[in-house]
Structure 1
Amino acid sequence: MRRQTATSGINPAGSSRALRLDPLSLPLSFHAHDTRADGGVRRIELHRERVVLHRAVKGMRMAINVRVSDFLGVALRGLDDDAQMLVLAHRDPSLNIPLCVSSDDEEIASAWQMWSDIFALPLLTEDDHREPAARRRRHNAIRARRPKFLVRRRLGNLGNTETVHRDEREIIARD
């Protein structure tokens, strides 16, 4: 695993260098800004089939392994100034992966198409905002079972039944 650039996505103060990852040099590893992580930084390993996010939160280190197919697509987002950013968009916004930041429209368009082709994901724009999926209720498997006391009950023996006919009434006698 190698780093793409010396700054690897974290730009020092005064740097005019923008984040640009080469989609043709996968797998690669870089650092990205994460407000919830210790130190405000997380390390990202980007492969063709999966993404691994390494970060520490309150001293607990974790690695999150996400399949590329679980991402929604490659999204183009506008920044405060005239620059635009490409993001590997996930349903959970904390799992979004920054791919490229540029103010050149031609460069961002070609990178957008390349990342989409490499990951086989759709192109998304800012208009394609999707809300996080609502939690679905799980089927309660226990509810469908018979109660425990009914499972223990046994049926009586119906093999020794006799039918006795007296005066048009049926009487069943059991031993």
Structure 2
Amino acid sequence: MRLDPLSLPVSFHAHDTRADDGVRQIEIHRERVVLRRALHGMRMAVNVRVSDFLGIALRGIDDAQMLVLVHRDPSLTIPLGVSSDCDEIATAWQMWSDILALPLLPEDKAREPALRRRRHNAIRARRPKFLVRRRRGDLLNPANIHQGECEIIARD
């Protein structure tokens, strides 16, 4: 399998273990990628901008090398080609990088897992809404405290 980056848009089928048929259809354009598959009987199309991908990576498999379009989510990573010729795969790697304007990723950089999302609630520590509207009283305002004075009571 080898896709030509000069003939974009390209449409092909790729292996997908979670899809119903075990296959997903991929369309690669210069500015976006569309992934179509059926999952539990529901057909879906995922439209991803090319700029959302991390880059083009080269992965070694058995006696050949595979060129992939790497996304932070591993299920959105797309295979671009497989070859046992090192020169051919290196030129294709550079061409895909130039055409899609994505960086070349070394093997160790391409396999970094995605960062975990924050699980805590960012606004939990804030004051409740009705208390935000009220003005807080100043208990230590020196104008309200009178010390060392005699109290004068005026009577009619």
If the length of structure 2 is used for normalisation, what is the TM-score?
0.79
Q: Larger RCO: Structure 1 or Structure 2 (Cα < 8 Å, ≥ 6 residues apart)?
A: 2
Aligned counterpart, 1:134: 116
| 1:41-60 correspondence to structure 2 within 5 Å | 41-60=23-42
Q: What is the SS of the residue equivalent to 2:87?
A: helix
Aligned counterpart, 1:22: 4
1:95 is aligned, of 69, 72, 76, to: 76
1:121 aligned to 2:102? Answer: yes
User: Percent identity of the aligned residues?
Assistant: 73
| 1:32-71 correspondence to structure 2 within 5 Å | 32-71=14-53
User: In the TM superposition, what is the alpha-carbon distance from 1:101 to its structure 2 partner?
Assistant: 0.7
Query: Any unmatched runs of 5+ in structure 1?
Result: 1-18, 156-167
User: In the TM superposition, what is the alpha-carbon distance from 1:147 to its structure 2 partner?
Assistant: 4.5
Distance 2:69 2:99 in 1: 12
Q: What is the SS of the residue equivalent to 1:115?
A: helix
Q: What is the SS of the residue equivalent to 1:169?
A: coil
Per-residue CA distance 1:11-69 (angstroms, 9 max, x = gap): xxxxxxxx111101111211100011011100011111111110011101111111111
Distance 1:143 1:116 in 2: 45
Q: What's the C-alpha RMSD, in Å, of the aligned pairs?
A: 2.6
Aligned positions, number: 142
If the length of structure 1 is used for normalisation, what is the TM-score?
0.71
Distance 1:49 1:171 in 2: 82
